[in-house]
């Protein structure tokens, strides 16, 4: 099988590597997003997928857009691909791209479709308190993750799972399911249409969503912290400066204070939440400093019952 692969972040690399190593598969080209500035020096840096393709000696292009781009389309057509495989590419593929492969264009999507169509399925499933997630191999069409599903695999979400945990579990799961399913697609496997019920959308995460609102429940705040731990993290103001929350847990206790109030500073930083629940911060990173246990931070922070987070 001749395959053109489209992907960008580290999540996609597991699938690309699996295809490179698979018997009977020839990855003839890779499409990724353009290099971005990153790091302290803001140097132009290739995407994880582009770097993996270069390391493997695969022809790679990084167009700024695929629409009204005859050069990129000509490159794709020249590859004479049997399958176009897309994993977290981050761009809308025009119909001409979806129709270019001889057999199909397929996508590895990190949710149990039709739940969490869209850009941030891993994060949205964790934030919503879902008990399970998974990966689907889906036929691509011009609608947003609306195509039929060839195969799916389920993963339980534990009470302590972080976003990083799900990422590290779903990436290899998707790669394994992809390599298992592609020969079946080449042999004529047809996708099953997605049900009309249960559709939800995983909208892109906004920066303001990672600022804690202490009016929310401790359970919700716990999911928020776990979702973005250790990076990029969630934040709250403390005496006018930012605190990045890295780890914590809800406590089996109640309070009668206003949201955001500091309740205790013994075994961690206990904060009043909006439904009378309590969230204990156990690890944090003060603005301009390294991450540390909350107990270390509290030795010099001089917090008391008059202190509120979020202000």
Each residue's pLDDT tens digit, 208-262: 999 999 999 999 999 999 999 888 999 999 999 999 999 999 999 999 999 999 9
Cis peptide leading into 63, omega within 30 of 0?
Answer: no
In a domain, 310, yes or no: no
Q: How far is CA 301 from CA 126, 258, 289, 297, in A?
A: 32, 21, 13, 6
Domain boundary among 145, 168, 202: 202
What is the CB neighbour count within 10 angstroms for residue 281? Answer: 24
Assess whether 134 and 265 both reside in one domain: no
Assess whether 170 and 297 both reside in one domain: no
Q: Tell me the residue range of the domain where 239 lies.
A: 207-301
Residue 161: pLDDT band (50, 70, 90) is very high
Q: Which residues of 39-49 are buried (b: 16+ CB within 10 A; e: fewer)?
A: eeeeeeebbbb
Distance CA 110, CA 137 (A): 9
Give the pLDDT score at 131: 97
Assess whether 145 and 8 both reside in one domain: yes
With contact defined as beta carbons under 8 Å apart, do 205 and 231 qualify? no
Give the pLDDT score at 267: 85
In a domain, 191, yes or no: yes
With contact defined as beta carbons under 8 Å apart, do 263 and 257 qualify? yes
Assess whether 125 and 24 both reside in one domain: yes
What token pair was written down for 61?
Answer: 């292009």
Phi-psi group of 310: left, alpha or beta (phi > 0 → left; psi -120 to 50 → alpha; rest → beta): left
What token pair was written down for 271?
Answer: 């904060």
Assess whether 51 and 147 both reside in one domain: yes
Chain centroid offset of residue 172 CA:
14
Domain boundary among 202, 223, 256: 202
Assess whether 88 and 178 both reside in one domain: yes
pTM of the shown model: 0.93
Cis peptide leading into 20, omega within 30 of 0?
Answer: no
The domain tally of the chain equals: 2
What token pair was written down for 144?
Answer: 């947003």
Summary mean pLDDT of the chain: 95
CATH of the domain at 143: 3.40.50.170
Distance CA 230, CA 179 (A): 30
Digit-coded pLDDT (tens) for 78-114: 999 999 999 999 999 999 999 999 999 999 999 999 9
Average pLDDT on 110-138 reads 97
Angle separating helix axes 48-55 and 10-21, nearest 10 degrees: 30
Domain boundary among 177, 202, 227: 202
Average pLDDT on 145-169 reads 97
What token pair was written down for 87?
Answer: 């994993």
With contact defined as beta carbons under 8 Å apart, do 31 and 6 qualify? yes
In a domain, 297, yes or no: yes
In a domain, 311, yes or no: no
Angle separating helix axes 10-21 and 163-186, nearest 10 degrees: 30
Distance CA 245, CA 225 (A): 7
Cis peptide leading into 233, omega within 30 of 0?
Answer: no
């Amino acid at each position: 099988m001749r395959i053109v692969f489209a992907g960008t972040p580290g999540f996609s690399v597991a699938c690309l590597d699996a295809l490179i190593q698979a018997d009977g598969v020839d990855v003839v080209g890779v499409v990724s997003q353009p290099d971005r500035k990153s790091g302290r020096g803001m140097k132009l840096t290739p995407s994880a997928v582009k770097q993996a393709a270069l390391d493997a000696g695969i022809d790679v292009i990084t167009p700024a857009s695929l629409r009204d781009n005859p050069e990129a389309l000509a490159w794709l057509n020249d590859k004479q691909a049997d399958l176009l495989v897309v994993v977290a590419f981050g761009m809308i593929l025009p119909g001409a791209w979806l129709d270019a492969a001889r057999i199909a264009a397929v996508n590895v999507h990190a949710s149990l479709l039709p739940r969490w169509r869209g850009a941030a399925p891993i994060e949205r499933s964790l934030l919503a308190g879902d008990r399970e997630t998974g990966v689907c191999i889906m036929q691509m069409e011009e609608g947003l993750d609306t195509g039929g599903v060839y195969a799916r695999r389920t993963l339980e979400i534990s009470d302590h799972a972080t976003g990083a945990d799900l990422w590290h579990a779903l990436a290899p799961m998707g790669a394994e399911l992809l390599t298992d399913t592609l020969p079946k697609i080449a042999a004529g496997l047809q996708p099953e249409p997605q049900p009309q019920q249960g559709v939800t959308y995983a909208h892109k995460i906004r920066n303001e969503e990672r600022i804690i609102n202490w009016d929310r429940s401790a359970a919700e705040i716990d999911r928020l912290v776990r979702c973005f731990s250790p990076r990029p993290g969630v934040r709250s103001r403390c005496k006018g400066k930012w605190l990045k929350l890295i780890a914590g847990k809800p406590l089996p206790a109640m309070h009668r204070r206003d949201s955001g109030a500091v309740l205790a500073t013994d075994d961690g930083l206990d904060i009043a939440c909006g439904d009378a629940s309590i969230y204990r911060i156990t690890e944090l990173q003060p603005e301009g400093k390294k991450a540390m246990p909350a107990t270390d931070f509290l030795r010099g922070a001089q917090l008391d019952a008059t202190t509120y987070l979020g202000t």
